[in-house]
Amino acid sequence: MDTVSLTPRDPQVRAITAALAVPFEPRDVKFKPQMVKNNRCLAMAYIDARLIQDRLDDVVGPENWEDAYDLLPDGSVMCKLRIKLGDRWITKIDVGSPSEQPDSGDRLKAAFSDALKRAAVKFGIGRYLYRLPAQWVDYDPVKKQITQVPQMPAFAIPKTQALPAAKPAPAKPAPEPKKEAPKVEPKPEIAKIEAPKNEAPKPNLPVNGQELHRRLQDYDAKLASQKLCQRGALLAHVTQAGVKAGFTANMNDWTGPAIPFAVDAVKEFEQTVRQTKPEPRTAA
């Protein structure tokens, strides 16, 4: 029997697809009633199409994805979603259905959004929502809305980094009765900015997640222009590493220890891509 050799997946593509599939913040997930019984309903989770567009912009960059739509005779809409993964453009296709809204424009708009969301699921975006357990929650039949927020399981919640607890200060010897030394309060604000004597001073780090994300986008574009990686690979690598370390998937929310962590992740990524870049050949 012939053996089939499988080509290992490109690590940059793996990082991008993993970043695409990261769960959204629970506050961004919405619910609608799928089945109603008196004052109870079966809640169905869904996300807004703009969340998908933001995820694509953040992970692969606006220039590395595109969508096209075809209106079908029955009023449904077909979406062709193309994403550049590595050096290839990959296309996923799915169909969205119109809503039951009275306005025809709203029904068509819902079909476009539904088509995009269904095509995005084939790239892993929001696919975890289909694995959520069925939940019956309180429902207001008069207002026709859910009054109880469903609970999200652990796998559907992005990990957040808890700040480490401060270490207790070492016990001080009791002062002599006749020679009381004035108590000196520690100055944490100095300790945070002073570098150890044997270490180089820390670089000018981003002050928050928004600045971090902006700098990474610029540096990601620089590495891509040098043909070291695909555009978006650096952002995907740092995001995936941050999620594994316990930070939220939304880099704009990163703060505190997440900032130097991201700097170290960038150094690791750049060292890897520069080592794997082929050396130019010289004539013998």
What does the domain layout of the chain look like in residue ranges?
Answer: 27-156, 207-276
CATH class of 27-156: alpha beta
d(CA 139, CA 152): 18
Question: What percentage of the chain has pLDDT greater than the value 90?
Answer: 39
Higher pLDDT, 104 or 282: 104
Give the pLDDT confidence of 145-167 residue by residue, as tens digits: 999 888 899 999 887 543 344 34
Rounded to an integer, the average pLDDT of 69-79 is 94
Question: What are φ and ψ of residue 83, in 5° steps?
Answer: -130, 140
What pLDDT is attached to residue 183? 60
Within a 10 A sphere around the Cβ of 173, how many other Cβ atoms? Answer: 5
Integer-rounded Cα Rg, in Å, for the chain is: 26
**pLDDT tens digits, residue range 110-146?**
999 999 999 999 999 999 999 999 899 999 999 889 9
Reported as type and span, the H/E element at residue 262 is helix 258-276
Average pLDDT over every residue of 177-205 = 52
**What is the maximum span of the chain, computed from C-alpha positions, in angstroms?**
96
Position 274 scores a pLDDT of 81
Q: What pLDDT is attached to residue 175? A: 58
